[in-house]
Amino acid sequence: MAWFDDLKTPRIKTQVSNRTSKVPEGLWVKCAQCGEIIQTKVLKENLSVCPECSYHFRISAAERIAFLSDEGSFDEYAEDLVSSDPLEFDDTKPYKERLRAAAGNTGLRDAFVAGRARLGGLPYHLGVFEFKFMGGSMGVVVGEKVTRLFEHALEERLPAVVVAASGGARMQEGILSLMQMAKTTALISRLRSEGIPYISVLSDPTTGGVAASFAMLGDVILAEPGALIGFAGPRVIEQTIRQQLPPGFQRSEFLVKHGFVDRIVARKDLTAELREWMGRLGRETCRFPEGV
């Protein structure tokens, strides 16, 4: 191990703060919760969780898929779907330009990636949001991809898992984006009638129309520590009711206490947790290979 792998982070933090308030780009990351300066390599090895305070950084859809599926097992579908800008929406810039910019920044065509995968040899259907694509907002394409994921799960009688990270319905598609709430919810009703497990994983943030529809309708609802979960944001609520909200309001720890979330699961434990729940819930109703 090289000598710089053993450097104590507090010493590095002091040296950096004495010279400049900026963290050297690319090599180090500053924890938003405790202020610790962490080597980027160390952070990635720890699944983007702060080793000092366990703060869960937001991660990309690709990173989530990598640790939630056996190597080489993820087979994406519906990746060719692209929004047609049905309302020809234009604010400070045309919606089509926003879509192109988001696609260029993320390498994706929209804010949701869906596919068939395996986890510990167990086949299932996995859908993951990409928050960097317009805040993970849900428009017609995202709603269609979520729907197709549920349809494939029904057809193949395999569990469905969705990892949410979204600011809600996409305003540039107006009522068409809100329709996706009902569309996806209808498929969940079919999953339940067939006994096909649907597990929802809530990450930071899960808000708006996504939180008000399929994200909160899992047979089991898991959440990452410290995730912001709710419909309207806390600032909007405070301004509306003109009252100060309790500490930690809308964070996953608050929601699990009040029965909105079943379990809080650290990122490092999520693969084992999902594998356990899918096997347990789908034992009688899913078509699992023998010996898995």
The structure tokens listed for 42 are 């160390």
Q: What is the pTM of this model?
A: 0.89
Distance CA 88, CA 172 (A): 8
What is the mean pLDDT of the segment spanning 76-104? 95
Please report the pLDDT score of residue 275 as a whole number. 97
Please report the pLDDT score of residue 24 as a whole number. 56
pLDDT tens track for 2-61: 433 444 444 344 344 444 455 556 799 999 999 999 999 999 999 999 999 999 999 999
Please state which of the ranges 109-123, 181-195, 228-242 shows the lowest mean pLDDT.
228-242
pLDDT tens track for 190-246: 999 999 999 999 999 999 999 999 999 999 999 999 999 999 888 888 889 899 888
Nearest to 219 by CA among 153, 166, 170: 153
The structure tokens listed for 101 are 């910019």
What is the mean pLDDT of the segment spanning 53-71? 97
pLDDT tens track for 144-173: 999 999 999 999 999 999 999 999 999 999
* Cis omega (within 30 of 0) for bond into 197: no
- The angle subtended at Cα 227 by Cα 221 and Cα 232, nearest 5°, is 90
As to burial, measured by CB atoms within 10 angstroms (0-12 exposed, 13-18 middle, 19+ buried), residue 211 is buried
CA distances from 228 to 22, 129, 202, 248 (A): 27, 15, 9, 9
Distance CA 105, CA 168 (A): 20
Nearest to 114 by CA among 82, 140, 76: 76
Pairwise pLDDT comparison (20 vs 101), residue with the higher score: 101
3-state secondary structure of 214: helix
Distance CA 7, CA 236 (A): 43
The amino acid at 88: E
pLDDT band at 291 (very low <50, low <70, confident <90, very high): confident
E-strand ranges in 28-134 read: 28-30, 37-39, 75-77, 112-119, 122-129
> Can you give the C-alpha Rg of the chain in angstroms?
20
Please report the pLDDT score of residue 11 as a whole number. 39
Distance CA 194, CA 102 (A): 37
| pLDDT greater than 80 at residue 125 | yes
In the sheet where 220-223 sits, what is the strand order? Answer: 75-77, 112-119, 122-129, 160-166, 198-206, 220-223, 263-264
Nearest to 260 by CA among 225, 226, 211: 211
